[in-house]
Structure 1
Amino acid sequence: MPTSPRASGSDIDYRPPLLALAAWLGAWLGTGLSPLIALLGIAVAGLFAALLRRRPLIAAVAITLACCAGLATLHSWSVHSNPVAELANDGAVVVADLEVHQGQLSDSSPGGPTWIATARLVAVEGRGQLWQSGAELRVSATGALLDVWEELPVGSTVRATVKLGPTDPIDQVSGWGSLRSPPTVLADPGPVDAAVNHVRAGLRTAVAGLPEEPRGLLPGLVLGDTLQMPSTLVAEFTVAGLTHLTAVSGANLMLLLAAVYWLGGRLGVLGWWRRGLGLLTVAAFVVLCRGEPSVLRAAAMGLVGLAALGWASAGQGLRYLSWAIVGLVMFDPWLSRSVGFVLSVLASAGIIWWARRWSKVLATWLPGWLAEAIAVPIAAQLATQPVVTAISGQVSVVGVLANLVAAPLVGPATVLGFAAAGLSVIVPPAAVALGWAGGGFAQVLCWVAHAATAFPGAAVTWPASPAGLALLVVGCGVLSLAAPLMWARPWLSVLVGLALVFALIRAPSVPGWPAKDWLVVSCDVGQGDATVLRAGPDAAVVVDTGPDPALVDRCLSQLGITRVPWLILTHLHADHAAGVAGVARGRRVERLLYSGVETPTGNWREALAALPEVPRVVAGPGTVIGAGQVRVQVLSRRPLLAPGVDDQDSSEENDSSLVMRAELPGLRVVLAGDVEPAGQDAALATGADLSAQVLLVPHHGSARQSEGFLRSIGASVALISVGAHNDYGHPAARTLSTVGSTGARVFRTDRNGAIAVASGPDGLLVTTQRPS
Structure 2
Amino acid sequence: MLRRPLVLFTICWLLGSCAAAGLESRGVLLAGGSLAAAWLAMLLRQRTAWPLAVSCLLAFGIAAGERVWVDSHNVSSLPEILISAGPGTTTSYEAEVTGAISSSVEIDGDRVQFRMTANDVRLTGEQAVRDISGESLLVQVRLAAQTELALAARWQRGERISIAGELTQPTEATNFGGFDYRRYLKSQRIHWLFKASGAASLHTSAGARFSMASMLSRIDAMRTALGNRMDALYPGEQSGYMKGLVLGISDDLDPDRFRQFSQLGLTHILAISGLHVAVFLYVLSGLLRLLRMTRERMLLLMIVAVPFYVLLAGASPSVMRAGIMAMLGLAAARMDKLKDGLHLLAAAALIMLAWDPYMLSNVGFQLSFLVTAGLILGVPPVRRWLPSGPRTKALFDLITVTIVAQAISFPLTVYYFNQFHLLSLLANFVLVPFISFIVMPLGGASLILDAIWHPAGSLLAMAAILGNKLTFGFVLKLSQIQSFRMIWATPSLIWVLCMYTAIAVSLTTLRSAFNRRHLVPNEQGLEYDSNNELQGSPLSAQSQSLQASDLTETQPLDRTEPIPFISPYSSEGAYKPNIIIRRLLPLFCLLILVIPLLWAYYPDWKDNDAYVSFLDVGQGDSILIRTSSGKHILIDGGGSVVFRKPGDEWRERRDPFEVGQKVVVPLLQQRGVHAIDLLVLSHLDSDHIKGLTAVLKQIPVKRILWNGTYKPSPDAQSVLQTAVENHIPLYRAEGGLSWKMDEHATIELIGAAPDTTINQTAFIPTVKEQNGQSVALLLHLYDRTFILTGDADKAEEDFLLSQFQRLHPEQQQNKSIDVLKVSHHGSKTSSSEAWLAYWHPNMAVISVGRNNLYGHPNTNVLERLETSGTQVKRTDLNGEVQFRISEKNQLQMRQKVVNN
- State whether TM-score is above 0.5: yes
Which of 182, 187, 194 is equivalent to 2:218?
194
Does structure 1 conserve the Cα–Cα contact (< 8 Å) formed by 2:263 and 2:421? yes
Does structure 2 conserve the Cα–Cα contact (< 8 Å) formed by 1:249 and 1:295? yes
Shift of 1:349: 0.8
Does 1:59 pair with 2:61?
A: no
Alpha-carbon distance change, 697 to 298 in structure 1, aligned in 2, over 3 angstroms: farther
Does structure 2 conserve the Cα–Cα contact (< 8 Å) formed by 1:105 and 1:114? yes
CA distance in 2, matches of 1:556, 1:688: 38
Shift of 1:374: 2.7
* Number of the residue aligned with 1:464: 490
Shift of 1:20: 0.9
CA distance in 1, matches of 2:29, 2:510: 47
CA distance in 2, matches of 1:701, 1:76: 33
Does 1:546 pair with 2:660?
A: yes
3-state SS of 2:660 partner: coil
* Number of the residue aligned with 2:784: none
The residue type equivalent to 2:430 in the other structure is V
Residue deviations 1:637-659, cap 9 Å, x none?
xxxxxxxxxxxxxxxxxxx9979
Normalization by structure 2: what TM-score? 0.55
* Number of the residue aligned with 2:775: 662
Shift of 1:237: 1.4
Alpha-carbon distance change, 59 to 197 in structure 1, aligned in 2, over 3 angstroms: same
* Number of the residue aligned with 1:137: 137
Where do 1:355-754 residues align within 5 Å?
355-359=379-383, 362=386, 364-365=388-389, 367-411=392-436, 412-422=438-448, 431-466=457-492, 469=496, 472-473=499-500, 476-477=503-504, 480=507, 546-547=660-661, 568=684, 570-571=686-687, 578=694, 628-630=731-733, 661-662=774-775, 670-671=789-790, 679-682=825-828, 684-685=830-831, 732=880, 735-736=881-882
Alpha-carbon distance change, 162 to 360 in structure 1, aligned in 2, over 3 angstroms: farther
Alpha-carbon distance change, 144 to 206 in structure 1, aligned in 2, over 3 angstroms: same
Alpha-carbon distance change, 425 to 287 in structure 1, aligned in 2, over 3 angstroms: farther
Residue deviations 1:521-577, cap 9 Å, x none?
999999995989xxxxxxx9985683179989999996799x999994633999666
Does structure 1 conserve the Cα–Cα contact (< 8 Å) formed by 2:442 and 2:461? yes
Report the more deviating stretch, 81-90 or 113-122. 81-90
* Number of the residue aligned with 1:755: none
Does structure 1 conserve the Cα–Cα contact (< 8 Å) formed by 2:439 and 2:468? yes
For structure 1, list consecutive stretches of 5 or more residues without a partner in the other structure: 7-12, 107-111, 500-508, 515-519, 533-539, 599-603, 616-625, 637-655, 713-719, 723-727, 751-772
CA distance in 1, matches of 2:302, 2:680: 55
Residue deviations 1:222-249, cap 9 Å, x none?
2322211222112111111011222343
Alpha-carbon distance change, 27 to 229 in structure 1, aligned in 2, over 3 angstroms: same
CA distance in 2, matches of 1:526, 1:474: 39
Shift of 1:92: 4.4
3-state SS of 1:340 partner: helix
CA distance in 1, matches of 2:719, 2:693: 12
* Number of the residue aligned with 2:195: 179
Does 1:332 pair with 2:356?
A: yes
Does structure 2 conserve the Cα–Cα contact (< 8 Å) formed by 1:76 and 1:172? no
CA distance in 2, matches of 1:305, 1:388: 29
Shift of 1:124: 3.9
Shift of 1:336: 2.2
The residue type equivalent to 1:629 in the other structure is R
Residue deviations 1:52-107, cap 9 Å, x none?
9993223212322333344445544554264589867796443223314136689x
CA distance in 2, matches of 1:711, 1:270: 87
The residue type equivalent to 1:99 in the other structure is I
Where do 1:218-297 residues align within 5 Å?
218-258=242-282, 260=284, 271-276=295-300, 278-291=302-315, 295-297=319-321
Does structure 2 conserve the Cα–Cα contact (< 8 Å) formed by 1:122 and 1:134? yes
The residue type equivalent to 1:319 in the other structure is H
* Number of the residue aligned with 2:101: 99
CA distance in 2, matches of 1:297, 1:231: 26
Does 1:161 pair with 2:164?
A: yes
Which of 4, 12, 23 is equivalent to 1:22?
12
CA distance in 2, matches of 1:416, 1:526: 44
Normalization by structure 1: what TM-score? 0.63
For structure 2, list consecutive stretches of 5 or more residues without a partner in the other structure: 85-90, 170-181, 208-212, 518-578, 591-599, 606-610, 626-633, 639-658, 724-728, 735-748, 755-768, 781-786, 793-820, 866-872
Identity of aligned residues (%): 18
3-state SS of 2:134 partner: coil
3-state SS of 1:684 partner: coil
CA distance in 2, matches of 1:361, 1:526: 51
Alpha-carbon distance change, 175 to 64 in structure 1, aligned in 2, over 3 angstroms: same
Residue deviations 1:320-347, cap 9 Å, x none?
2211111111111211222222222111
Alpha-carbon distance change, 288 to 124 in structure 1, aligned in 2, over 3 angstroms: farther
Alpha-carbon distance change, 472 to 38 in structure 1, aligned in 2, over 3 angstroms: closer
Does structure 1 conserve the Cα–Cα contact (< 8 Å) formed by 2:105 and 2:112? yes
CA distance in 2, matches of 1:305, 1:571: 56
The residue type equivalent to 1:679 in the other structure is H
Shift of 1:19: 1.4
Shift of 1:406: 1.1
Alpha-carbon distance change, 235 to 63 in structure 1, aligned in 2, over 3 angstroms: same
3-state SS of 1:547 partner: helix
* Number of the residue aligned with 2:63: 68
Does 1:346 pair with 2:460?
A: no
3-state SS of 1:135 partner: strand
The residue type equivalent to 1:230 in the other structure is D
Shift of 1:125: 4.0
The residue type equivalent to 1:184 in the other structure is H
Does 1:120 pair with 2:120?
A: no
CA distance in 1, matches of 2:19, 2:52: 21
Residue deviations 1:24-75, cap 9 Å, x none?
34445666899x9999999999x999x9999322321232233334444554
Shift of 1:446: 2.4
3-state SS of 1:101 partner: coil
Which of 199, 210, 227 is equivalent to 1:203?
227
Shift of 1:453: 1.1
Shift of 1:380: 2.3
CA distance in 1, matches of 2:410, 2:684: 35
The residue type equivalent to 2:265 in the other structure is G
Alpha-carbon distance change, 55 to 553 in structure 1, aligned in 2, over 3 angstroms: closer
Alpha-carbon distance change, 352 to 684 in structure 1, aligned in 2, over 3 angstroms: same
CA distance in 2, matches of 1:475, 1:747: 38
Does structure 1 conserve the Cα–Cα contact (< 8 Å) formed by 2:110 and 2:142? yes
Alpha-carbon distance change, 129 to 700 in structure 1, aligned in 2, over 3 angstroms: closer
Residue deviations 1:297-321, cap 9 Å, x none?
453367789999xxx9998222222
Residue deviations 1:170-197, cap 9 Å, x none?
6341422232233333238835523532
The residue type equivalent to 1:331 in the other structure is W
The residue type equivalent to 1:445 in the other structure is T
CA distance in 2, matches of 1:525, 1:260: 53
Does structure 2 conserve the Cα–Cα contact (< 8 Å) formed by 1:259 and 1:415? no
* Number of the residue aligned with 1:619: none
